[in-house]
Amino acid sequence: MRAAVYERFDGPLTVVDAPDPSPAPGEAVVEVLAVGLCRSDYHGWHGTDPDIVCPHVGGHEFVGRVVAVGAGVQRVAIGDRIMVPFVCGCGECEPCRLGQHQVCRRQEQPGFTRWGAFATHTTIPYADVNSVHVPEAVSDEAAALVGCRVSTAYRGVVEQGRLQAGETLVVHGCGGVGLAAVAFGRALGAQVLAVDINRAALELAAHVGADLLLDASTTDDVGGAVVDLTGGAHVSVECLGSAVTATNSILSLRPLGRHVQIGLFPAATADFPISRVIRDELEVRGVHGLSASRIPEVLAMVADGRIDPTAVIHQRLSLADIPDALPAMARFAAPGVSVVTRF
Ligand SMILES: NC(=O)c1ccc[n+]([C@@H]2O[C@H](COP(=O)([O-])OP(=O)(O)OC[C@H]3O[C@@H](n4cnc5c(N)ncnc54)[C@H](O)[C@@H]3O)[C@@H](O)[C@H]2O)c1
Ligand SMILES: [Zn+2]
Ligand SMILES: [Zn+2]
């Protein structure tokens, strides 16, 4: 196979020949059809993900066609078009038995705990538990984006945020995750306020359904500005991963509001306004992807047009572009999402 490898964090990437993967018992191997570039891939390359051991191949948001299955695999056959959530659960531990595979105790994450899909081929762990067959009506590009950012946004807005029609949602950071969060807010019939510092990102947010836009670079009091515009949000999702935006998110809420933390932090702890959480009895919830068991609900929303992940694709790349495109994410240069479609 061919794969975009880095030998050290923040080091150069090169597309090299590597041995074809062969599936261990319970695993499947896919030929990758499409893979997105998520900011978590950038964090991984930058060295802030403790699961990654170099040399490494990232890529965790993908769809592929099965080319080999290991012993014992029953739900997946050669030729199937499948995708997996970025957190692949074991199917047997306590969270998995509760249907919460996204917090599995023995989870595997292609692109983090093992080599991922910035390659012509990758291996699916616990294939019977995690493989989701992709409906005909869903394109490769859309299915790839569901693998991480679209399903993560669904988990944040629909499941953890429990957003209702008529409520107000505010989204802090309108990249791949945030734009999907805006689209789910729109699909649910909420009023949506999108916050970013990049005009092009805000324009994309309007394109996928934001009712109100706020350029965070124009004020020192983003939370206060959100409250002025909306009366305070019922649900606020943080889709960047910084103490500033997490604080803005909490200060955007009305009493009893729900803050959902999706963006990953570079450090294990963070400062945020706990006094406001207490005073207004706010809820603070995390998100760690979405269980494979609920991805068909997201794919159904894509298939019938309630959500269109491809509406925010900014660039379609080839595998050979990854060595430049991944480090370039440091500059937040490209609004929307980038997807590799040629291998
Ligand atoms: N918890 C999970 O399960 C999960 C899953 C996927 C991604 N993530 C994380 O979510 C975050 C977002 O990922 P992405 O791929 O959407 O990133 P992205 O780079 O596509 O988007 C980030 C957006 O934040 C905006 N931004 C930067 N500074 C800002 C500020 N001060 N205020 C408001 N907006 C600002 C940028 O302009 C950009 O539009 C990352 O931390 C990623 O690692 C977490
Ligand atoms: Zn991701
Ligand atoms: Zn498990």
Assess whether 143 and 154 both reside in one domain: no
Which amino acid is residue 85, in one-letter code? Answer: P
Closest CA to ligand 1's atom 11: 263
CA of residue 44 to ligand 3 center, whole Å = 23
Assess whether 139 and 195 both reside in one domain: no
Q: What is the length of the chain?
A: 343
Domain CATH number, residue 86: 3.90.180.10
Whether 198 lines ligand 1, by a CB cut-off of 6 Å, is yes
Assess whether 97 and 114 both reside in one domain: yes
Assess whether 12 and 127 both reside in one domain: yes
Atom in ligand 1 nearest the alpha carbon of residue 336: 20
Euclidean distance between CA atoms 264 and 68, whole angstroms: 34
CA of residue 142 to ligand 2 center, whole Å = 14
CA of residue 62 to ligand 2 center, whole Å = 10
SS3 category, 243 = helix
Domains: count for the chain:
2
Residues in contact with 171: Cβ distance below 8 Å, sequence separation at least 6, in sequence order: 178, 181, 182, 185, 192, 193, 194, 195, 205, 210, 236, 237, 239
Angle, nearest 10°, between helix axes 222-230 and 243-251?
Answer: 30
Assess whether 111 and 142 both reside in one domain: yes
**Average pLDDT, rounded, for the chain:** 97
Euclidean distance between CA atoms 111 and 97, whole angstroms: 25
Assess whether 141 and 167 both reside in one domain: no
Residues in contact with 151: Cβ distance below 8 Å, sequence separation at least 6, in sequence order: 85, 289, 290, 294, 295, 298
For residue 87, is pLDDT > 90? Answer: yes
Whether 39 lines ligand 1, by a CB cut-off of 6 Å, is yes
CA of residue 152 to ligand 1 center, whole Å = 12
CA of residue 68 to ligand 1 center, whole Å = 35
Atom in ligand 1 nearest the alpha carbon of residue 172: 33
DSSP state of 88: B
Closest CA to ligand 1's atom 43: 40
- Residue 157: is it exposed, middle or buried by C-beta count within 10 angstroms (0-12/13-18/19+)? buried
Tens of pLDDT, residue by residue over 93-114, are 999 999 999 999 999 999 999 9
Whether 150 lines ligand 1, by a CB cut-off of 6 Å, is no
Euclidean distance between CA atoms 258 and 251, whole angstroms: 11
Atom in ligand 1 nearest the alpha carbon of residue 289: 3
Closest CA to ligand 1's atom 9: 263
Nearest to 26 by CA among 90, 121, 122, 105: 90
* Percent of the chain topping pLDDT 70: 100
Q: Which of 256, 271, 286 is the last residue of a domain?
A: 286
Assess whether 145 and 211 both reside in one domain: no
Assess whether 67 and 137 both reside in one domain: yes
How would residue 334 be classed by pLDDT, with cut points 50, 70 and 90? Answer: confident
Using the CB atoms, write b or e for 96-114: b if 16+ within 10 Å.
beeebbbbbeebbbbbbbb
Assess whether 236 and 172 both reside in one domain: yes
Q: Which of 268, 286, 304 is the last residue of a domain?
A: 286
Whether 161 lines ligand 1, by a CB cut-off of 6 Å, is no
pLDDT value at position 21? Answer: 96
Query: Which ligand is closest to the CA of 105, given by its number?
Result: 3
Closest CA to ligand 1's atom 25: 173
Whether 60 lines ligand 1, by a CB cut-off of 6 Å, is no
- Write out the residues surrounding ion ligand 2, Cβ under 5 A: 38, 40, 148
Assess whether 237 and 129 both reside in one domain: no
The whole-number average pLDDT for the span 202-213 is 98
CA of residue 85 to ligand 3 center, whole Å = 13
Using the CB atoms, write b or e for 190-209: b if 16+ within 10 Å.
bbbbbbbbbeebbbbbeebb
DSSP state of 148: I
CA of residue 75 to ligand 1 center, whole Å = 34
Whether 170 lines ligand 1, by a CB cut-off of 6 Å, is no
Tens of pLDDT, residue by residue over 36-86, are 999 999 999 999 999 999 999 999 999 999 999 999 999 999 999 999 999
For residue 266, is pLDDT > 90? Answer: no
Q: Which domain holds residue 200?
A: 150-286
Whether 195 lines ligand 1, by a CB cut-off of 6 Å, is yes
Whether 265 lines ligand 1, by a CB cut-off of 6 Å, is no
Whether 299 lines ligand 1, by a CB cut-off of 6 Å, is no
How would residue 159 be classed by pLDDT, with cut points 50, 70 and 90? Answer: very high
Query: Which ligand is closest to the CA of 43, given by its number?
Result: 1
pLDDT value at position 267? Answer: 85
How would residue 131 be classed by pLDDT, with cut points 50, 70 and 90? Answer: very high
Domain CATH number, residue 278: 3.40.50.720
Whether 197 lines ligand 1, by a CB cut-off of 6 Å, is yes
Assess whether 19 and 63 both reside in one domain: yes
Assess whether 97 and 161 both reside in one domain: no
Nearest to 164 by CA among 184, 194, 193, 149: 184
DSSP state of 266: S
